Structure 1
Amino acid sequence: MDKFNLSRRESLGLAAFATGMAAVPGVASARSKKPAVDFVTDIDFKDPKWTRDTYARIDGDIDPTKEKCGWIKGKAMGVRPNEKIRTLFGVEGFSFVRMKKLEDGSYRRMLREIVFYTDLETGEVMDKWHNPYTDETVKVVPIANDPFNFTISEYAPEGPSYGGLNTDLREREPFLQDWEYGPNGTMILNTGIDLMYPNALQPSQWPRESAGAMNRVSEHFIYVVEKADVENPELTHIPHIGSWSRITPWLPWMLMGQAEGHISYFTHFQTIPEGVAGLPAHLVKAARDMDEKWLSAPTEDYGPSLSSLEVYAREQTPAPVPEGWEPPKAPPAPAGFPPRKD
């Protein structure tokens, strides 16, 4: 597992990134082959078609005969008033993406992803977890989205609909992203989305799982790539490393109800050019034990594309409510400090 432990500096791509990515297996061979599709390589931050093609090459491999494997690892923390932030469990998983080019030049991105929650001490995948806020042991439910598809075009995406629950969709506008040049021949992309939409787990039906009638979510990514890779007309996938953060309500399987507080994810991610062979063995086993399908990308477009909460609502059942149960309470506010005497 040591080969998957990136330092903070490495995860931000600020230390000899160009040298490191040149040594990634598969990159050199990819550069020696003529690509199966055409794409824009002349860097222009104000060109929606360059943005479309570059983001598609990062998010997947625009050669439809190939699939891209991505790996993610980090931690999830509990945040409540009047106490320090508490690291609760590890987060580790992977995804497989396939790209299909459409007639108008857009790309249909087809993805399967699975993310497990892991023990902080051993790193092993958990099926049960002791909740320190409620002092009870709960069943752990991984993130398992099949599929999560969307179209990458020269127009900005409307944002996920989450099965029709999110109606706050963006107006059609050119697809431009927040790019900047970094040190050592790198480029840095910042993306993110902030949402508030109706919860698929309404408190009336899911009193222990639901954090409330609405979901407030903030999700942000940082990608670091080589400028030379972006400009390379033979490279259909752009290798990258980066970070993902997410602020989200308590996870439903924690059985926190409408307790004050939320979960904060902080992770790093990267391309795994070797695919399944390059993933940690314990993750591959855990995914295979669920279904072999998690070890490859979809070959066809299908749906609906749902978030983990919508999947939870479809696949799980509400937990029993013990007599007299109420959501755990955060500690009281500390007493105020006495006024200073000058």
Structure 2
Amino acid sequence: MMLVWREMMTLMKSGLLAVGVAACAMLAAAGAQARTLDPAKPEDALEISKRLQCGVSEDKPAVYHWSGNIYGRAPGVRDKLLFKGEGMNIRRCVEVNDPQRGKGWRLVSREVMLMLDPKTGEVVRQWENPYTGETVEVMHIHNDPVNGRPNFARGADGTPFTLGSLREAGPYVFMPFEAPLFYTNPLTGDYQEYVGGEYHAMEIFDFGALRSELYDSTKPTAYPMISWVRISGWAPWMKMGSRPGQMVFNAMGRKLPGGFDELPEVLKKEIRANYPIYEQAPPKDDARPNETTWTKFKMLTDKAREAAGTVDKSGEGH
């Protein structure tokens, strides 16, 4: 009996030793692969940017959510809180390859932002414009697609990819981005360089993330917070004509670990009822031109005019 017991103990010890050796080998391999990303290195900076923007993989889209206030600002009167805003962007990052620059990634996405009644929180369908007294149909933001250019560790001229705005503060990483916008307005004529009318706006995106999450190569992605500000002209559906003034959007949010299902009910309900394709990111090979509020409004207005048989009348006189 004792002999059998000794044999059993010997076998168990041998087995435990083998398991221990295997475990050590696995830990050593994991340790060799795990490292802290360095934003000063172009390849790591590219990966950090991807982890900030993207989901776990190409097949598991990321969802950003934000909420805030939308103000109107006109000369000589107090700013008006026009709407509460609830927005989302669903996106995926796809791998791209370049013969000279190697592997990179490209963002494909679509977005929705709802205008809500500031008092009730309900989705606004028709709205009495406080500046004109006219009741107008609200066109909620629903842009598809909103895609980015390919990103590589090196530019076509060999310039390294950098995160110039990145700032580390204790356990946090901050990355502010300003996007000054000034380009041809699709709703105005062919002589904007002479008489004005260009689209002129500023969008500001401020990201904040934990260093321990953003720089950890063993984590497939990060879940940063974001603040978003847009200063732009009146939305075209407001029918403000040439009245001076602007809109100010101010919102905060984050990338949602739970994806679409973690969005507020008001967004999920409205998207599923009226914008169902926005529950999924665009296809990986999406090559369509981007949409904006202005191009979307033009497309919908042109369709409505065509359906009604309305002829566009050009201006007359001097």
In structure 2, the partner of 1:297 is 281
In structure 2, the partner of 1:116 is 114
User: Which of residues 166, 182, 198 is equivalent to 1:179?
Assistant: 166
In structure 2, the partner of 1:227 is 211
Bigger CA radius of gyration: 2
Q: Does the alignment pair 1:309 with 2:294?
A: yes
Q: Could you tell me which amino acid in structure 2 is paired with residue 151 of structure 1? A: R
Mapped contact 1:179–1:190 kept (Cα < 8 A): yes
Instruction: Note closer, same or farther for the CA distance 1:243–1:284 as it changes in structure 2 (3 Å cut).
Output: same
Mapped contact 1:201–1:313 kept (Cα < 8 A): yes
Distance, in Å, in 2 between the alignment partners of 1:41 and 1:260 is 51
Mapped contact 2:223–2:254 kept (Cα < 8 A): yes
In structure 2, the partner of 1:160 is none
In structure 1, the partner of 2:45 is 51
In structure 2, the partner of 1:269 is 253
Distance, in Å, in 2 between the alignment partners of 1:257 and 1:39 is 58
Distance, in Å, in 1 between the alignment partners of 2:103 and 2:224 is 23
What are structure 1's unaligned runs of at least 5 residues? 1-34, 158-170, 205-211, 321-342
Alignment of 1:48-197 (within 5 A): 48-61=42-55, 63-103=57-97, 104-154=102-152, 174-177=160-163, 178-183=165-170, 185-197=171-183
Deviations 1:271-323 (A, max 9, x none): 11112221111211111111321111123322121222112111224899xxx
What are structure 2's unaligned runs of at least 5 residues? 1-29, 191-195, 311-318
Count of residue pairs the alignment pairs up: 264
Distance, in Å, in 2 between the alignment partners of 1:290 and 1:254 is 21
Distance, in Å, in 2 between the alignment partners of 1:174 and 1:143 is 35
Mapped contact 2:227–2:253 kept (Cα < 8 A): yes
Q: Does the alignment pair 1:286 with 2:273?
A: no
SS at match of 1:102: strand
Instruction: Note closer, same or farther for the CA distance 1:82–1:95 as it changes in structure 2 (3 Å cut).
Output: same
Deviations 1:163-182 (A, max 9, x none): xxxxxxxx995432301112
Q: 1:51 deviation in Å?
A: 2.4
Distance, in Å, in 2 between the alignment partners of 1:301 and 1:40 is 32
Q: Could you tell me which amino acid in structure 2 is paired with residue 311 of structure 1? A: K
SS at match of 1:150: coil
In structure 2, the partner of 1:32 is none
User: Which of residues 244, 249, 252 is equivalent to 2:233?
Assistant: 249
Alignment of 1:205-224 (within 5 A): 213-224=197-208
Q: 1:65 deviation in Å?
A: 2.4
In structure 2, the partner of 1:168 is none
Deviations 1:187-207 (A, max 9, x none): 111112102111011169xxx
Distance, in Å, in 1 between the alignment partners of 2:154 and 2:199 is 23
> Which structure: greater helix fraction?
2
Mapped contact 2:34–2:216 kept (Cα < 8 A): no
Q: 1:48 deviation in Å?
A: 3.2
- Higher relative contact order by CA 8 Å / sep ≥ 6: 1 or 2? 1
What is the TM-score of this pair, normalised by structure 2? 0.76
Q: 1:152 deviation in Å?
A: 4.3
Distance, in Å, in 1 between the alignment partners of 2:173 and 2:230 is 22
Deviations 1:82-112 (A, max 9, x none): 2222211111121211111112221121111
Distance, in Å, in 2 between the alignment partners of 1:59 and 1:40 is 20
Identity of aligned residues (%): 25
Instruction: Note closer, same or farther for the CA distance 1:62–1:279 as it changes in structure 2 (3 Å cut).
Output: closer
Distance, in Å, in 2 between the alignment partners of 1:172 and 1:263 is 40
What is the TM-score of this pair, normalised by structure 1? 0.71
Q: 1:57 deviation in Å?
A: 1.1
